[in-house]
Amino acid sequence: MTASASGIIRIWTNDFENLKSEVNTGNEITDCDVSCDSTQICVLSANMGTISVLDLESSSYNVCLRSHMDNITDLDYNQMTGKLITVGDDYCVKVWHAENME
């Protein structure tokens, strides 16, 4: 998988020779991560302060979090705890339950 500042996510074969899918999110992408079962991609759009999930099985793209008052600069997901951590230019570090985004 590759993602760009122009908002495009590309899904490639393992050898990067063939493009399998392309999605235009419409927002600048700062970071993204693939779920451990490879069915979802978590997308960080820093300039919008949002975190979205691209579901590869249903081809749906849903914004699930709008909470930082400024740009989100980084995110990380802990598979052991099921928690997502976001860091923003609003001087906040936030910890979320990935299942319900609370």
Q: Is the pTM of this model over 0.85?
A: no
What is the SS3 assignment for 42-64?
EEEEHHHCEEEEEECCCCEEEEE
Q: What is the pLDDT of residues 24-80, one digit of tens each?
A: 888 888 888 888 888 888 787 766 677 788 888 888 888 877 777 777 788 788 888
Is-contact 83 98, C-beta < 8 A?
yes
Q: Which domains can be identified in the chain, with CATH numbers? A: 2-97 (2.40.10)
Asked whether the beta carbons of 69 and 59 are under 8 A apart, the reply is no
Q: How far apart are CA 24 and CA 35, in angstroms?
A: 19
